């Protein structure tokens, strides 16, 4: 089960940098460890992780094609609609009662809330970028 999870902005045609992305993104780290801008990150938030992976697996089956390399812990998000659904999932966990009941995390709600808020804003900011850059996609990683 993944300890670290996040979304990277990637392309099969080029390597994006932070300078390419919309202004206003609050990056979780000062350095991009995966050689791609990381706009969402959480650690030891298993309830959130499981909800996102469940959605990504369902989205994959709905499309009739694979958007995942689940064996390697990577899933691909390539439409604004998918990003909005992930925002909805994170919003669910932004509710304190939902966090306490379903969060399955080592973090208390007050510790997790700022990161969840940052993740929602970053995902909303990336939607127009995805529309304007058809080669761009988000890669969700699930470390083991």
Q: What is the mean pLDDT of residues 56-77?
A: 68
The helix/strand/coil state of 141 is strand
Read off the pLDDT of residues 79-127 as tens digits, 9 standing for 90 and up.
Answer: 999 999 999 999 999 999 999 999 999 999 999 999 999 999 999 999 9
Q: Quote the DSSP letter at residue 3.
A: S
CA distance 40 to 75: 14
Q: What would you measure as the largest C-alpha separation in the chain, in angstroms?
A: 43
Q: Tally the domains of the chain.
A: 1
Which of 32-36, 49-53, 90-94, 129-133 is least confident?
A: 32-36
Range of the domain at 38: 4-142
Q: Given pLDDT bands bounded at 50, 70 and 90, which one contains residue 1?
A: low
Q: How many CB atoms lie within 10 A of CB 61?
A: 10
CA 128 to mean position of chain CA atoms: 16
The yes-or-no verdict on residue 60 having pLDDT over 90 is: no
Read off the pLDDT of residues 3-27 as tens digits, 9 standing for 90 and up.
Answer: 899 999 999 999 999 999 999 999 9
CATH of the domain at 91: 3.40.1760
The yes-or-no verdict on residue 64 having pLDDT over 50 is: no
The helix/strand/coil state of 75 is strand
């Amino acid at each position: 089960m993944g300890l670290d999870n996040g979304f990277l902005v990637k392309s099969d045609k080029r390597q994006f940098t932070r300078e390419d992305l919309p202004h206003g993104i609050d990056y979780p780290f000062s350095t991009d460890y995966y050689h791609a801008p990381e706009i969402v990150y959480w650690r030891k938030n298993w309830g959130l992780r499981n909800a996102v992976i469940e959605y990504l697996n369902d989205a994959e089956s709905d499309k009739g094609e694979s958007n995942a390399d689940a064996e390697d812990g990577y899933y691909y998000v390539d439409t604004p609609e998918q990003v909005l659904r992930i925002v909805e999932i994170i919003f669910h966990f932004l509710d304190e009662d939902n966090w306490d009941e379903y969060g399955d995390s080592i973090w208390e709600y007050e510790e997790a809330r700022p990161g969840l808020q940052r993740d929602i804003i970053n995902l909303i900011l990336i939607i127009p970028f995805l529309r304007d850059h058809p080669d761009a996609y988000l890669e969700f990683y699930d470390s083991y």
